[in-house]
Amino acid sequence: MTALSQPQLRDLTEAELTWVAEQEKVIFGPAAWSLALIRDDFDFGGKRYRGAEVEGELVGYAVYGYDGDAFSLMNIAVVLGARRGGVGRALMDDFLAEAGREGAREAWLEVSVANTAALALYRSYGFEDVRIRPRYYQPENEDALVMRRKMTDRVA
């Protein structure tokens, strides 16, 4: 990936779900979503699966949509070799743009309290801490921080 390459975003296809599951294992280890869970969510979950490509290669993905009445980012991931190249920001911009198109009043997400890079990214978008969900991530027994952004907020 060159420094000038901008991520191109698109909807993922069912054929690419195996790639998503493989990246889940690499990036999230034991807490990864299984291929079966990903397929069920893709088919029946009413979520949007978005991919980020650089130079024709998938390098990241995000899953978002309504979880009950909350517009939520369920998952976001960037492959190791593409990090710090704007892929995460492009996926976040896409998530928030969709929340705006949907007329959502708030956008929600959960993140590991130990994921300092993600916490910094989310806070740069105006997400605020709401509460801790103890032992949310299994099998690591790691706490999650629930974060919210009011969609009327403006980020510089």
Active site residues: 110, 122
- Which residues share a beta bridge with 147? 109, 129
| Cα–Cα nearest to 92, from 67, 117, 112, 68 | 117
Instruction: Count Cα atoms within 13 angstroms, Cβ side, for 39.
Output: 6
Cβ proximity of 122 and 111 under 8 Å? yes
